[in-house]
Chains A and B, each alone.
Chain A
């Protein structure tokens, strides 16, 4: 497969993957397919079959991708979903309950793989991770933010722009507040709807909030938001943005 040969070049860092699944046969299947896909780029792969253990593991280990079954031993997977999507890693749901897909995407999962699945469908999901493809559905409604005492769901509608700050990001909201998110700018960009555009290596902005683009001396470009805020536009990005939005 073409996709597979080019992978080695796309995956820059070794992957840490967690599978949360209580059906042992299915867990083994996921494990085998994951190993097949990532092969040597896989740094660690863990299978856990209970929620408390999974939450404990997530807390203490760096992860890149989590494969999550939404119905574990009779427990509601949405309890763990909030925690999962607030983390830096991408979450891929593997579930028998197709009807939960819309809700899962709204919470900000990268993909939803319905059971029964085959190798192709799972690889499609993994490709989104490694090729930094955007999600197809793009109907994320919330971003889960870690707050003292738990997870809070913030509505995407309230989001003006995001600033990358190393491995995490700062979310600037319409009410003037600022929140931190564990996901990198790249990962959030994958999840966010089309109205959000990467205008700079450190900025993703909701284009409907941009009032005008100001050209400054030294061919510096700035985007002025409706609230008066000025954000830099990357020199390389300017052409694309101009073509797409002006």
Chain B
């Protein structure tokens, strides 16, 4: 299937996208030590930090220093500069590289006086003369007025141009990705508006939209300066988005691959998710990751059950989960989350595509089926057994008694007329069906010279029934039953209704002929069942069995 290959190709692209952006590391970061206070010489390369500590407690707002050893593994080439990325700093600081001030982010220690300034992420250029291979010291004069708990920070040394360009390129790629999800979200939302019964489509659309919003929020930092104090707003948005995605994805899979006790299991899952969400709420990244992990495991369970039940598409989706795990194992945090989500959403997409194909095939099948049933109905009166036997009897009647012959012709004309009236319909009023049966009996009286009697009980005027269903039962009764000793065959139609179902009981009161080897009633019953399915889906039942008085058929239509 081309479909599958296309799908795999997209996978490979995503995996490549997620893993191709690494550049080899140019430095090794050593330990970081801290000391409260402020002395100029703390920036010096050769300063001894014996009395410094690896953990300190801050009140908030006071100036403190941190010193981090870096070992550069390479000397920059001509025209190349190294830079240093300081990430998740949560405060304001001055940056000293080997004792030289190379930049600042806000005004450390003066937040209360000067107000908020500085960003969450900053990149600083390291002077070329200070980037030779070997040991270096990064000293930060810092203050954490708003977030005294966030002493730790991340720092990376790399090619300066790379540090500036890579986030933009990466964001560019991710936004292409996000755009695709936005389109998918809109497309499937409109699709849902066209058919409001299709809940999975709505869930998929919302998931795509949330995923789009997630990527947008995650990478907004690349091109919009966010003050470190607003950092949490962004993280909060991301964690909520993740939370809802983590609910929707398993919900979606549960609709596509149903399993027993669905509501209970999903309820437990959501409870666990809420717990994970609030347990370590301010460790945003970790919380998002844990929620994604919960989602992955629950989805794995649902899809594995689908595979076990041999549901269509389940094994491909299982593969997406496995790929998701592989990506997670091989990439760092953000990529793992986004590429992982992306792959899962593609898996969801794939199921929708499969379902759409199934629906189309089912629709085509019903079209063919309806046409076939219509033809079968039309054929009832022109199939040779009915037509030629009727005509032969008719000739005989005309020869013997022209007036009887005329009555016979009138009965035939009436049946033809009734069949014509109901020919294109899937449901007809019950009285029309009864009239069809009575007319048919009229004809058969002329042919078989048996006293056919018709009785009905409880028939409601405005009930409807698929065309020629009772007529087919009547034909079967005539064919397979012999008259009683008084040369009569009685047919009785009983209609009953209650809160759960309506039922038609069709009785043939006669002698049942001993069944010969092969009977053709199979096609008649098939017709009835196909008609019931056409109009009532699977909300019906049909039984047909011999009784001591003849034959009993029951059609039940459930509300």
Contacts and interface: CB of A to CB of B under 8 A. Distances in A.
A52 B446 contact: no
A116 B447 CA distance: 13
Contacts of A52: 514, 516
Interface of B: 384-385, 387-389, 391-397, 446-450, 476, 479-480, 482, 513-514, 516-521
B517 A79 contact: yes
Given A52-B514, A73-B480, A115-B388, A25 B519 contact: no
A96 B396 contact: no
A226 interface: no
Contacts of A96: 384-385, 387-389, 392
A155 B551 CA distance: 43
Contacts of A24: 447-450
Interface centre among B394, B397, B518 (most CB of A within 10 A): B518
Contacts of B384: 96-99, 115
Name the interface size band of chain A: 20 to 34
Nearest to A97: B384
A23 B448 contact: yes
A23 B447 contact: yes
A25 B513 contact: no
A184 interface: no
Interface in A79-101: 79, 96-99
A25 B517 contact: no
Contact of B516 (A23, A75, A98): A75
Instruction: Find the residue from B384, B479, B482 having the highest chain A CB count within 10 A.
Output: B384
Contact of B393 (A25, A74, A99): A25
Main secondary structure of the interface of B (DSSP, over half): helix
Contacts of B516: 51-52, 73, 75, 79
15 contacts: A24-B449, A25-B392, A26-B389, A26-B396, A28-B396, A29-B393, A29-B395, A50-B482, A73-B513, A74-B519, A75-B518, A79-B518, A97-B385, A115-B389, A116-B391
A76 to B, nearest CB: 5
A71 interface: yes
Contacts of B385: 71, 96-97
B388 A75 contact: no
A25 B388 contact: no
A50 B483 CA distance: 13
Nearest to B520: A74
Interface string A5-32: 0000000000000000011111011000
A23 B518 contact: no
A116 B446 contact: no
Contacts of B450: 24
Contacts of A117: 392
Nearest to A28: B396
Interface in A112-160: 114-118
Interface string A24-44: 111011000000000000000
A26 B392 contact: yes
A115 B513 contact: no
A25 B521 contact: no
| Smallest CB-CB A-B distances: 10 pairs | A96-B388, A116-B392, A115-B388, A25-B393, A96-B384, A74-B479, A75-B516, A116-B391, A115-B392, A24-B449
Of the candidates B388, B447, B449, B514, the one having the most CB atoms from chain A within 10 angstroms of its own CB is B388
Given A23-B448, A73-B479, A50 B392 contact: no
Contacts of A29: 392-393, 395-396
A26 B391 CA distance: 10
A99 B383 CA distance: 12
B391 A25 contact: no
B487 to A, nearest CB: 10
Nearest to A25: B393
A94 B405 CA distance: 22
A97 B200 CA distance: 53
Contacts of A26: 389, 392-393, 396, 447
A79 B519 CA distance: 11
Contact of A116 (B395, B482, B521): B395
A79 B102 CA distance: 104
Contacts of B519: 74-75
A25 B480 contact: no
Contacts of A116: 388, 391-392, 394-395
A28 B449 CA distance: 11
Contacts of A99: 384
A240 B360 CA distance: 72
